Structure 1
């Protein structure tokens, strides 16, 4: 028979990870913005890495995989995750390394992370977004769906803030004007996810 402490531990392991991040705030979108964001999350092109050569792409994957190994032990899934992060970030015109820093802060790389306000997955996307710009049957715990939405939303906020990443990150976290969240993302980005290689080409 399990003792009470063991039972509590097993229960804790079975429950979804609760993220401590904030949340995007639902805002009224114009018809044109809604249509643009809908197109952005609907495209289903296959992920691809945008580097000068296959060797450079492999070197990037190998290095980032090494850094992520303790958090994500499965090598095949880790490579799939990193390839998808790189593709979705680059597609949205974002730095993949910054996005990795954001994911570290938002969910600590927990696929099934759920915040106190219901934000879901790696990039802690609020469920109202699927209704606003996608379809209700889209699963925000799905790797590519979550990263597609997260990168699209951050790009949207970056456009609203005319390229000001600090303010865009504040919007993403629902803490616009407060320094804590942007500073946490910047710190994680610079401490753990700076690329030692040349900057990859940005492709649409």
Structure 2
């Protein structure tokens, strides 16, 4: 016996409901793993430093390059973050935290594009939070157990950049594998390839 056919209007309502539902952030599931005490201490110290994101420059040419980067990236990101002050504060913090962790700011922007599409309050289906989709367990491992702080812009970016730096060191500088670890999909190509492709938009 054939199942009764769903009325056309019911199918339309279902399609509209699916389209209207908020899409979860495409983050993976960073895995909690055993860390050496020295690594845990280094990470903890890195995220505890409350220094505001104030850039320092060695010479005027470096400062000029930074201003040019900020102006260029602000122009490219204006559709995602339309408020000028929010966008410029975000970019200044990305630049500061990325450089502080020894990462390329453009690569971090690419990762954020893939992880949260620049949504400050993004939450993935596995609970990762904020711009860089940091898993809440990290606040227990290296932080002060304040999970709400992961929605703070600088806190989220600092956690994310510090964790990615740790993975990069664990993988002996192999960015492809480090990105896989960050996403909880080490060895699978989809996520690293997506971040590396997005990075090209921010070079």
* TM-score when normalising by structure 2: 0.85
- Pairing 1:49–2:55 present: yes
Q: Determine the structure 2 residue equivalent to 1:140.
A: 150
Structure 1 distance, partners of 2:24, 2:152, is 17
Paired residues of 1:123 and 1:150 also in contact (CA < 8 A): yes
Q: CA deviation at 1:50?
A: 5.3
Structure 2 distance, partners of 1:183, 1:19, is 17
Structure 1 distance, partners of 2:56, 2:197, is 25
Structure 1 distance, partners of 2:75, 2:196, is 21
- Pairing 1:21–2:43 present: no
Work out the number of aligned pairs and report it: 183
Question: Unaligned 5+ residue runs, structure 1?
Answer: 195-204
Q: Determine the structure 2 residue equivalent to 1:102.
A: 111
Q: Determine the structure 2 residue equivalent to 1:201.
A: none
Structure 2 distance, partners of 1:112, 1:169, is 22
Q: Determine the structure 1 residue equivalent to 2:82.
A: 73
Structure 2 distance, partners of 1:48, 1:183, is 32
Q: CA deviation at 1:18?
A: 2.1
* TM-score when normalising by structure 1: 0.85
1:96-131 deviation digits (Å, cap 9, x = unpaired): 000000000000000000000000000000000000
Question: Unaligned 5+ residue runs, structure 2?
Answer: 1-12
Structure 1 distance, partners of 2:142, 2:30, is 14
1:60-94 deviation digits (Å, cap 9, x = unpaired): 11110000000000100101000000000000000
The one of 148, 152, 170 equivalent to 1:160 is 170
Q: Highest CA radius of gyration, 1 or 2?
A: 2
**What is the root-mean-square deviation of aligned Cα atoms in Å?**
1.7
- Pairing 1:37–2:40 present: no
- Pairing 1:60–2:69 present: yes
Structure 2 distance, partners of 1:170, 1:109, is 20
Change (3 A) 1:50 1:99: farther
